[in-house]
Homo-oligomer: A and B are copies of this chain.
Amino acid sequence: MGVRERVDGFCARYGLRVPILAAPMAGACPPELAIAVAQAGGMGAAGVVLDGPEQIAEWMRRFRDGSDGPVQLNIWIPDPPHDDPDRTAAAARFLAGMAEPGPEPPSGPDFAEQCEAMLAARPTIVSSIMGRFDAGFVQRVHNGGIAWFAVATNLDDALAAQDAGADAVVAQGMEAGGHRGVIDPASAESTVIGLFALIPRLADRLDVPVIAAGGIADGRGVAAALVLGASAVQVGTALLRTPEAGIPERWSAALADLDPEGTTPTRAYSGRLGRAVRTSYVAAWEAPDAPRPAPYPHQGRLVARYRRGDPGKVDPVSFWAGQSAGLARAVPAAEVVTSMWEEASALLA
Contact = CB atoms under 8 A, between A and B. Distances in A.
Nearest to A215: B196
Contacts of A190: 261, 264
Contact of A214 (B173, B194, B199, B200): B194
A225 B223 CA distance: 10
A215 B227 contact: no
| Chain copies in the assembled complex | 2
Interface in A131-179: 154-156, 173-175
A247 interface: no
Given A193-B261, A227-B224, A264-B190, A3 B347 contact: yes
Interface stretch (A62-70, A296-304, A319-327): A319-327
A318 B191 CA distance: 21
Contact of A220 (B173, B175, B216, B228): B228
B194 A215 contact: yes
Contacts of A196: 173, 175, 194-196, 214-216, 221, 224-225, 323-324
A209 to B, nearest CB: 16
Nearest to A174: B194
A223 B198 CA distance: 16
Main secondary structure of the interface of A (DSSP, over half): helix
Given A200-B324, A220-B227, A228-B224, A175 B154 contact: no
| Size class of the contact patch on chain A | 35 or more
A228 B195 CA distance: 13
Contacts of A57: none
Interface in A321-335: 322-324, 326-327
A201 interface: yes
A287 B259 CA distance: 32
Given A154-B260, A194-B194, A200 B221 contact: yes
Interface in A253-267: 259-261, 264
19 contacts: A3-B347, A154-B259, A154-B260, A154-B261, A155-B259, A190-B261, A190-B264, A192-B261, A194-B323, A195-B195, A196-B196, A196-B216, A200-B220, A200-B324, A201-B259, A201-B260, A224-B228, A347-B349, A348-B349
Q: Across chains A and B, which 10 residue pairs bring their CB atoms closest together, nearest first?
A: A197-B323, A194-B194, A196-B215, A224-B224, A175-B194, A197-B260, A193-B260, A223-B227, A197-B215, A197-B324
Given A221-B228, A227-B227, A347-B348, 17 more contacts: A3-B347, A154-B259, A154-B261, A155-B259, A174-B174, A175-B196, A190-B264, A193-B261, A194-B214, A197-B260, A201-B324, A224-B224, A224-B227, A224-B228, A346-B349, A347-B349, A349-B349
